[in-house]
Structure 1
């Protein structure tokens, strides 16, 4: 093998496919389930470009596609339907591109754009209604190419509502204009197929000197338009770098080992100290030292979690079957018997999905011919966590049984030093400084990920602080109740009291006043 061929093979091995899917969905809300199932298939889509989502701004901002973030969108304000949305995988970094008011015009020229910063690629999605003025659209298209990131690589998707398979003056003018910006069309396949026509109104424009790519039509099965999948070959270091997480093994043997170590600890450094802060720091230091020894942090690669629990293998098979039936119905004149079969198939299909999403298990008789699912529980010993002064916080999901067992077993070995610290804390009116520190996590809401205003801060306190707070609350409540310091009309934040008791008490008072008034009137007393 020559040196040049070896280098070429090495460069090719560092390339990975980066897939972008475009689709004219014609109402995203009622197609969301089907879209989620398709995304869980073997397509491995990184970016989704959608036209005609038919949603308003508040609706598109709250719509969630698992594993994806809304990065750019356009919604109509005056006319119905239309709209653009671009979704990207959550691990991709991007920068929102300003949408110019002079460009976007409902029906005529609708666009949304985003720049993927890691791969330095601008993605623009466009839509033009069939009855829109072609000259005005072309003028805005020309303006957009001139002012929106003119020096960066671009991919332009859109439903232009023009048949690129047929010759026309408008088509020639459009292709001539895009060629002047070094853009060329990539699609020459039919993307809208009905019983009466086969057209190509959806088109992708890409720069001539772009990296290797391929495109194909994807049969969606729930829209008049087929989806288009564009696959690029990009450097693997720029695409979704491998994520490493640190986990601890909470197996039964490790829990028993940890309890054994704590049972032999004398806690002299805690009992011999008089300052509450140093007392708790000593306790925390010993506890943390043993914790790190037994429950050692181990690095693990995170695998992409594309599949949702309700999207089973058999639901995917049924989805593919439904898409085939939809395409057959769309392209052929079918009998009434076949129409009823497809209608009944779709009805059962969506019923199975809805029941499976609710219960995550479905064995109904109506679905036996459609889905046969086997469910198997798995026992996970590794839990993603971060450390706290009193052990572990579980960052995602519910605590596993191993972790619950670990904490319940530990209480017999740490209750004495904790009791000593709490008593000194109460007697000296000192709360340990270490427990005043919170872990603040920024949860991304929408928009650019590098803008802090697009995140919601969530503060998580140490588990040990909850112990102090609960004990102090119990003592304070005992003192208040013993000395009757709270009014009987205080219904909030008290045991056996609630808004229900408050309403009941008020109704009783009203009735009591009414009875007293009636007695006064019967006895002839003057009523003022």
Structure 2
């Protein structure tokens, strides 16, 4: 399995209470009925209590902004939502059960009325991202994908991610738009989890996630009294975690050191001699200038740390190859700045030497593995 296809397991053992071994529970709910205006949103309280849901994702709630933020659901708090201020109907929102803690991902700013109405949150204790989406039956697909691409730039696909909503495509049928939608989410390693019909003989609603499918269940919820769609009860079972932690760091490289020298040489430190300023202020400005130069020269990067069941250790990539790689990057940087100082032929020659060294290192590593396995 390639890294892009790796599924994610999550640890909910510390968060489960009262002997509940079913882990995280989410209800996807469409608050609309063709036959009448939607009844008060509190109608869903009974359902939430019955299934002990941790989260409620509502798509098409039909509420205007002042109603959305004034209506409450007992034992739940609304964390994020979107409402139409001009056109009626539509809208999305997410509620979480108290005392769970979460923050908004501010995705609602990307919403395009009718075409892609979206909102999302990040649960603190689960480190899980929840997103709910609504697209009208006549919504423009190009605008939908455009908004979702921008949304994914704010999401971390290496973390547990659940996207639920009414997409108004026919899943499980020969619907080219449904296929395009599934392929789009699949490119981010998200798979659909709903296999039953949600409106008559059609499946228009779904839940996409990157969590291991063996830990999940999705089942229909009868909402005849409040909606023409069936709800979705999504459960994520408790599992041992192999989820990785992301750390930030600033690697010290030859390119960075060269950039730092150039940056420091161009700094103006005349402010140190400015006697009209307090000595503490002058010192702080001096330190800030150095810190800014370091941050500029050594950009921050991030990586994942964790314990996989079968870690992939690259034994052949030793310190000598790392030094050659950094030297090659340095030469590439110098060539871009001054092709005369580092001509193309010199760069090409060193690149060949680097590739040859990698080839020899791999051969030696494989030979050593075979010899040691006897």
The TM-score with structure 1 as length reference comes to: 0.39
Structure 1 residues 100 and 219: CA distance shift in structure 2, 3 A: closer
Are 2:135 and 1:131 equivalent residues in the alignment?
Answer: no
For residue 234 of structure 1, give the secondary structure of its aligned residue in structure 2.
Answer: coil
Among 27, 34, 38, which residue is 1:21 paired with?
Answer: 27
Matches within 5 A, 1:111-150: 111-150=118-157
Output aligned runs, 1:228-267, within 5 Å: 228-234=232-238
Count, aligned residues = 222
Tell me how far 1:14 sits from its aligned partner: 9.1
Name the structure 2 match of 1:80.
88
Worse-matched range after superposition: 151-160 or 21-30? 21-30
Q: Which among 62, 70, 75 is matched to residue 54 of structure 1? A: 62
Cα distance in structure 1, aligned partners of 2:166 and 2:79:
20
Please show how residues 343-492 of structure 1 align to structure 2 within 5 Å.
none
RMSD across aligned C-alpha pairs, in angstroms?
A: 2.7
Corresponding residue for 2:228?
224
Cα 1:210–1:115 shift into 2, 3 Å: farther
Aligned-partner Cα distance in 2 for 1:73–1:136: 20
Provide the C-alpha distance between the structure 1 equivalents of 2:49 and 2:143, rounded to a whole number of angstroms.
Answer: 40
SS in 1 for 2:32: coil
Q: Deviations over 1:117-165 (max 9, x none)?
A: 1011000000001111112212322332233334322100010001102
Give the conservation status (yes or no) of the 8 Å contact 1:25–1:31: no
Q: Is contact 1:218–1:226 with CA below 8 Å preserved after alignment? A: yes
CA distance in 1, matches of 2:128, 2:160: 5
Give the secondary structure class of the aligned counterpart of 1:163: strand
- Give the distance between the partners of 2:100 and 2:132, measured in 1 at CA: 18
Q: Which has the higher contact order (CA 8 A, sep 6+)?
A: 2
Q: Which runs of 5+ in 2 are unaligned?
A: 1-12, 241-374
Equivalent residues of 2:217, 2:235 under 8 A apart: yes
Q: What is the alpha-carbon distance in structure 1 between the residues aligned to residue 22 and residue 163 of structure 2?
A: 21
Unaligned runs of 5+ in 1: 1-9, 237-528
- Mapped pair 1:154 → 2:157: no
SS in 1 for 2:178: helix
| Matched-pair contact (CA < 8 Å) for 1:142–1:177 | no
* 8 Å CA contact retained: 2:31, 2:41: no
Whole-angstrom CA distance in 1 between matches of 2:151 and 2:31: 24
1:40 aligned counterpart, secondary structure: helix
Does residue 172 (structure 1) correspond to residue 179 (structure 2)? The answer is yes
Q: Which residue of 1 aligns with 2:47?
A: 38
Distance 1:68 1:136 in 2: 32
Task: Give the Cα separation in 1 of the matches to 2:217 and 2:80.
Answer: 25
SS at match of 2:93: strand
CA contact (8 A) 2:221 2:231 kept: yes
Over 3 Å counting, the alpha-carbon distance change for 1:77 and 1:155 in structure 2 is same
For residues 235-267 of structure 1, what are the alpha-carbon distances to aligned partners after superposition, in whole Å with 9 as ceiling and x for unaligned? 79xxxxxxxxxxxxxxxxxxxxxxxxxxxxxxx
Distance 1:85 1:122 in 2: 14
Q: Distance in 2 between matches of 1:158 and 1:108?
A: 13
Report the TM-score, using the length of structure 2 for normalisation: 0.55
| Greater gyration radius | 1
Shift of 1:80: 0.5
Separation (CA, whole Å) in 1 of partners of 2:72 and 2:108: 26
